[in-house]
Amino acid sequence: TDYALLVFDWDGTLVDSIARIVDSMKAAARETALPERDDTRIKGIIGLGLPEAIASLYPEVGDPALVERFRCAYSEHYLAQEAQPSRLFPGVAEAMVHFREAGFRLAVATGKSRRGL
C-alpha cells in the first residue's frame, strides 16, 4: 500500500516527555491539595486530553473549580519545563527528514493543546 501521510504520536513516541508529564501532574496535585498519584497511574493517562486525564486520575473530584485549578497548575508547570523543549528520541529528527524527503506528508496526533505541543 502506498501511503501519502504518516501520523505520529508525540509524547513517548517522538519526544521523551514522560518524566515532565509525571512531574507536572504531581506538582498540580500538590498545589491543589489532591493526593499524588503514582508514576504508573499517571503514565496510563498519557495520550488523553487534559480534561479526560484529570477525570481518570481523580474521578472523585466533582468540583469544576478544583478541576480547573488542577488543569491550570498542570499547564503552568509543564509549560515552564518546556522552556527547554523535551528532547526528541534518538533518530527521530533524521527519520522525519528522511520521510519528508521521500515525499510523505507528516502529522502529529496528540491530546495536547496546540500551546502544549
Kindly report which listed range (22-31, 37-46, 78-87, 108-117) carries the lowest average pLDDT score: 108-117
| Cα dihedral value 25, 27, 30, 34, nearest 10 | -10
For the whole model, what pTM was predicted? 0.80
pLDDT, tens digit, 9 for 90 and up, residues 16-36: 999 999 999 999 999 999 999
- Which residues, 6+ apart, have CB-to-CB distance to 39 below 8 Å? 22
Residues labelled catalytic: 9, 11
Q: Is the pLDDT of residue 62 over 80?
A: yes
Question: Which of the four pLDDT bands, split at 50, 70 and 90, describes residue 14?
Answer: very high
CA distance 52 to 88: 25
Q: Is the pLDDT of residue 113 over 80?
A: no
